[in-house]
Amino acid sequence: MPAPAHEVPRLSVEDLFDSPVRAGAVISPDGTRMAYLAPWQGRLNVWVESLDSDEEARCVTADDNRSVHVFHWTDDPRWLLYEQDGDGDELWHVYRVDLTDPDAEAVDLTPFPGAMALGFDRVAARPGKASLHLNARNPVEFDLYELDIATGELTVLAQNPGQPAGWMRTPTGELYAQSLTADGDIELARWDASAEKLSPIATFDGADYPLGIQPFELTPDGTGVWMGSNRGSDRTRLVRFDLATGAEADVDSHPVFDLDTRRAVFPTLPSPLIRNPYTGALLGARYLGERQAVHALDPHFASVLRKVEQLSDGDLGAVSCDASGRRWIVGFVHDRDPGATYFYDHTTGESRLLHRPFPHLDPDTLAPMAPVTIPARDGLRLPAYLTLPVGVAPAGLPLVLLVHGGPWFRDSWGYHPVVQLLANRGYAVLQVNFRGSTGYGKAFLKAGIGELAGKMHDDLIDAVDWAVEQGYADRDRVALFGGSYGGYATLVGVTFTPDVFAAAIDSCGPSNLVTYLETLPEYARPGLVNNWYLYAGDPSDPEQAADLLARSPSSRVDEIRTPLMVVQGANDIRVVQAESDRIVDALRARGVDVEYMVKDNEGHGFVNPDNTIDMYRAADRFLARHLGGRPDTE
């Protein structure tokens, strides 16, 4: 049972936002070792440890500047790869580590200044090889390369002719490309190398896929693609697309839930498709509603799934297996027991806990996250999550409305350190999936078109009203807090409805939609047609630009009277620092006090623990001043 309020320990910001002791474990191809992330020199780095002996774990990367978050085993036990950018600039490079030589430095396999490596993918049919996209030739165009992992040799497989958004190569060497038509539809075409032209196979309505088709993964034999389709339906299901005929055949679906496509926004989240990474075999599919549902699509995996689901009452998170499918490492998503990770041997039935990322956190002191449904003023039902402080009467509480980014994303059940910090301080926390959020069907998604600073914002106000009417929240003590699109929504809140909120925190939020869209990286702009241009407007059209400006917080800065805190990464290439400077400068020119935190070594969202801790310490103090909470004073 949760502890009474007077017994609930006060969690420090470090308790919640410092690096995990271990996280992200992945089993090796031969099943004898695991690689995972753990601190070294104050940053997360990759460590390797035996699963069958007491041999001491070894740190195999040495980045003391910026935490590593993405790494890959290869089919050769000698090599491990990881990805890193520079201080948040999102210019990703792929590095190789020699596991047989502890003294050897990591080798940059994509050593092109100003270039970005994307779409790294090991090729099961080509041992020792991987494919990736690079814009080294032209910053706006990504070419397809094959990487020889051992030698570092890069071979151009296809040079971008000026329109593909993504390439695929089959095991037999055929090339396919996705591109956007002038109308924004998604076209899949076969590349004719001799004629150097694309031959269309199929076209998909781009408006149905604001972030592209997710998932979109080649079958092991190269004759088809497993993809998330909502063609002819409201929900996104799993189909097999035939590359020869263009036909779609249903593979699997859920009667209520969409496939979990959140990875389109956060690539570190698990794919909606669970596959054997060494054979490419399709094992299962993830669907997401209030909680996750996993459908096993392989008899062997069905048997494994029945066993591993007994290890935790959480949702299955990251999962990896050896090449044989015998040995597994599985992590779990849980609101109060985050990231518990287990080893499981399906041959012997052996299972054991490997680690908890935050062993100092007692699940009984953390606040449960409950799904709720909120009626919008026009009758639309808004899925949401409510987290209430442990051991406190759930009445008349200060409330923090936490707004997700995207907006083509969604809040979901699980452990969120910011939610736990706020609940630990005595705040109720409400996360509402406003119209335009993904994961709730095509109609719910498209209900956000044209509604920035309109009905999308009304949904947030309706959520506040609901929390007050239910008795959970004190109307005079409501704060708004969000990052990226959530930061924009926060600024909309204090400019369009300034009397609703007692405090607000904006992290890297656009303040002017016109300048925001005009300063996005050039390579990203062709992809805006089905998301920002469709949902908000195209700044190149004078009429639409005027509407974008009218929906921009910068056009109503004089309305701000809510205490405001602004957070920004100086290297943010998505929402450039000028977006935050604009609001802060305007307020300071009026003599209005505004807290402003800029970190020179961060980009779109903070990665390094010291910066994250600084941010949430400041947020903790800020909210305490304006909502009446008690901040961490350590």
Residues annotated catalytic, as ranges = 484, 572, 604
* Spatial distance between the Cα atoms of 525 and 618, rounded to a whole number of angstroms: 34
* Spatial distance between the Cα atoms of 382 and 347, rounded to a whole number of angstroms: 45
* Spatial distance between the Cα atoms of 177 and 167, rounded to a whole number of angstroms: 4
Q: Encoding tokens for residue 498?
A: 């300034």
> Quick check: helix, strand or coil at residue 507?
strand
SS3 content of the chain, % helix, strand, coil (to 5): 20, 35, 45
Angle (CA) 170-174-175 rounded to 5° is 90
Helix (H) or strand (E) holding 545: helix 542-550
**Residue type, position 631, single letter:** P
* Spatial distance between the Cα atoms of 116 and 525, rounded to a whole number of angstroms: 16
| DSSP-assigned letter for residue 379 | S
* Spatial distance between the Cα atoms of 115 and 456, rounded to a whole number of angstroms: 36
Q: Are 530 and 206 in contact (CB under 8 A)?
A: yes
**Residue type, position 313, single letter:** D
Helix (H) or strand (E) holding 435: none
Q: Which residues contact 348 (CB under 8 A, 6 or more apart)?
A: none
* Spatial distance between the Cα atoms of 415 and 333, rounded to a whole number of angstroms: 7
- Of 513, 583, 521, 516, give the one whose Cα is nearest residue 544: 513
Q: Encoding tokens for residue 282?
A: 């399709």
Q: Which residues contact 485 (CB under 8 A, 6 or more apart)?
A: 403, 404, 405, 406, 407, 409, 509
- Of 239, 212, 245, give the one whose Cα is nearest residue 227: 239
